[in-house]
Amino acid sequence: MRLLAILILCILVAACDRQAATEELTEARSAFANREWNDAERLLEGYLRRNPEGAQRWEAWNLLVEVAHRVRNDERATVELLETMYLENGSNPERAYDILTRLGELLEAGRDFRRAAEVWPRVLELPGLTPDTRALVSRRLARILVMQRRFPEAEERLKACLDTEGLSTEGRAGCLYDLADLNVASEHLDVAVDLATTLVGLEGLTPELRSQAGFLLADALEQRGRFAEALERFEALRGVYPNDMVIDTRVRHLKGRLGRK
């Protein structure tokens, strides 16, 4: 009988603890909804501290991140929260992707490119990424590497992006564009022209991307000294490229170089 009484007492205590946790989170939600940020933070932190196995920990973490990021505009606190969330949820691929992408974006926005360049490769290691998602992450990482002037590594990432199996036309076009643009910046102009030519030849491009690709090709041709071809490409962009003034300026400049009116 004594053992039974102890078991019943344990069950009742556990039930009370669960009820208290539920009430604490309910109060936290209410404080959050009413923009009572100090109370919301205190209650959410209390829920997480006292409920290491709580069913609503994911919700609590996300509400805390929202307060730190959107309300407090505290980048350091937000980064620390996301890193702690990752330690707890990293074994769940979907949650890990959500956390790491937010962390990478936050570090980029804060121009902490060194740490951002460490986060995005972790995203690429996650299972279950679609080919186009993998390509987008690779492109994002490549842009950060360019910011750090790590051009060979950026080129390697973009080439891997192009080699992604199952990539859509749009995904392939994005990889081609960034790789061509990188080669223009690196003054590997013949390579850039070849890549941009391949890009404009793709079927199924959106009008916006096709005009951007055409501009990139025309620019590479001009820098390579192939002025007549560049002029032809720029003229073809009239009425298509979103900024007619830019096109008119480039056409006028090239006509001057070619001695045309």
pLDDT higher than threshold 80 for residue 20:
no
| Separation CA 37–CA 47 (nearest Å) | 15
The tokens of 23 are what?
């009430």
**Cα 248 to chain centroid, rounded:** 34
pLDDT higher than threshold 80 for residue 219:
yes
The residue ranges of every structural domain in the chain are 168-261
Q: What is the pLDDT of residue 258?
A: 86
Nearest residue to 60 via CA among 42, 73, 75: 42
pLDDT higher than threshold 90 for residue 126:
yes
Q: What is the pLDDT of residue 12?
A: 36
Write out pLDDT tens, residues 111-120: 999 999 999 9
Q: Which long-range contacts (CB under 8 A, 24 or more apart) does 36-40 make?
A: 37/67, 37/71, 37/72, 40/67
Mean model confidence pLDDT for the chain? 90
Q: Could you say which of 3.40.50.720, 1.25.40.10, 3.90.1820.10, 1.20.1740.10 is the CATH number of the domain covering 168-261?
A: 1.25.40.10
Write out pLDDT tens, residues 71-84: 999 999 999 999 99
pLDDT higher than threshold 60 for residue 3:
no
pLDDT > 90: what percent of the chain?
85
Write out pLDDT tens, residues 62-108: 999 999 999 999 999 999 999 999 999 999 999 999 999 999 999 99
